[in-house]
Amino acid sequence: MKTRLMNNLGLKILAFLAAGMLWLLVVNIDDPVTSATYQDVAVTVINQEVLAEEQQTFQIVDNTQTVDVTVTARRSVLNRIRQENITATADMRELTLRTQIPISVSVIGYDYVDAEASPRNLQVRLEDEETKSFPIVPTTTGTVRDGYVLGNIQAVPENVSIRGPKSVVDQIDRVEASVNVSGLSQDDVLLSELVLYDEEGDEIDQSLLTNNLGSEGVSVSVELYRTKSVPIVFDTSLIQAADGYEFAGITYEPEEIRISGSEEALEDISEIDVPALALELSDLTERTEQVVDISDYIPEGVSLADENAGSVAVIISIEKDGTKAFDVTPSSVIVNNLSEDLVLNYDQAEALEIHVRGPRETLEALNLDKKVSIDLTNYTQAGSYAVPVTVSLPDDCTLETAVSIQIVLEEKE
């Protein structure tokens, strides 16, 4: 019996098959074949040159530039696969109907049963290719170190050729290269990146575009200037008062201006001289305000540190013969008898102009500090009022005209 069993080939084969089936059963129970889905795998388009030969290009449509990939493999293999191990490619040579390309999926370095993309095809739209040249506009963000201002900024190179689908290239309205200059204190060349904008100011996706910048890319050359504050000096020789009046001087704001330039140029400048023609006025009978743009009077080799800060507000004081004008700020007016239940605010920002008549010697020596006041005894309710101003004057002086000040009284909270 034993001998018969040992020599029976059929039984041996049957035993081998049974053992194999048992092994497969154990393996499939312990490490079964199953599937897992990996989302948003990017699709790479290869052999795009076949379109370039026809001076055409393409755009991916229907959001098929990423796909979900389902991989079938043993559980132990799936546990080790990561999204970066999966490649999805679309070969332009396999383009069908001029609208779609089959997507091929592979899992690099792993033994798997199957891998399939969803959707299975990359949807594309073919169109003519276009190349255009654009000037590169350099821009900056941030603030340079104190004592410096931005001088000339220039993109390097100044122009760029951009190639891509005609519908995308035609949208380009502006090409910028921006750099951050925060804390910069010397001339420098800073690396940048191109940003494309349409006419609405929206950024354009560059994934379908190429340019001629090469590996060097784009940079921005930044030049810095030193700054210096200098006084403004006006020539007032052409200001003329009418008969019976006299010119009493000017005040102006700002009294200093900040200029910028090279250190050598700044060293030679101690003030900004504004010629008489800038204030050529005649027959004046009252205080006159004039705005002078001093931009034209900045010496050659330097410029305004702030190009928008060239306006100077000039007040020209005119007095009657035998009078003198005094400017008194509202905050310097003494307030008497303000109710404890009220709060005072001034409803005017400009100074009071007080004209005093008297002997010239007395007027020249007169100072109105702490001599201008208001009495609020009769103002006990909240509201807006024009209150007469009292001025303490020498016996030989009088007010030319009565003066009042606009105030607002509010109840305390």
Tell me the pLDDT tens digit for each residue of 124-163.
989 888 999 999 999 999 999 988 999 899 999 999 999 9
- 139-225 and 323-411: same fold? yes
Of the pLDDT bands very low, low, confident and very high (cuts 50, 70, 90), residue 220 is very high
Ranges 10-19, 173-182, 260-269, 398-407: which has the least confidence: 10-19
Q: Which CATH number applies to 323-411? A: 2.170.120.30
Q: What is the mean pLDDT of residues 318-347?
A: 90
Of the pLDDT bands very low, low, confident and very high (cuts 50, 70, 90), residue 14 is low
pTM of the model: 0.55
Question: How far is the CA of 174 from the CAs of 196, 222, 374, in angstroms?
Answer: 6, 20, 61
User: Is the pLDDT score of 1 beyond 60?
Assistant: no
Of the pLDDT bands very low, low, confident and very high (cuts 50, 70, 90), residue 5 is very low
Ranges 92-96, 255-259, 322-326: which has the least confidence: 322-326
Q: Which CATH number applies to 139-225? A: 2.170.120
Dump pLDDT digits (tens) for 188-200: 999 999 999 999 9
User: Is the pLDDT score of 27 beyond 60?
Assistant: no
Of the pLDDT bands very low, low, confident and very high (cuts 50, 70, 90), residue 345 is very high
Pick the CATH number of 235-320 from 3.30.360, 2.60.40, 2.170.120, 1.25.10: 2.170.120
The confidence score (pLDDT) of residue 8 equals 58
Q: Is the dihedral of CA 3, 9, 10, 11 positive or negative?
A: positive
Token digits for 171? Answer: 């949208």
φ/ψ of 239, rounded to 5, equals -90, 125
Asked if 346 and 407 count as a contact pair (C-beta separation under 8 A), the reply is yes
* C-alpha gyration radius of the chain: 43
- pLDDT > 70 in the chain, percent: 93
Q: Which CATH number applies to 33-119? A: 2.170.120
User: Is the pLDDT score of 207 beyond 90?
Assistant: no
Q: How many other C-beta atoms can be found within 10 angstroms of the C-beta atom of residue 294?
A: 18
Q: What is the mean pLDDT of residues 341-365?
A: 89
Q: What is the mean pLDDT of residues 165-188?
A: 93
- pLDDT > 90 in the chain, percent: 67
φ/ψ of 4, rounded to 5, equals -65, -40
The confidence score (pLDDT) of residue 11 equals 58
Identity (one letter) of the amino acid at 28? Answer: N
Question: Locate tokens 């930044």: which residue?
Answer: 222
Domain ranges of the chain: 1-26, 33-119, 139-225, 235-320, 323-411
User: Is the pLDDT score of 350 beyond 90?
Assistant: no
Q: What is the mean pLDDT of residues 208-217?
A: 88
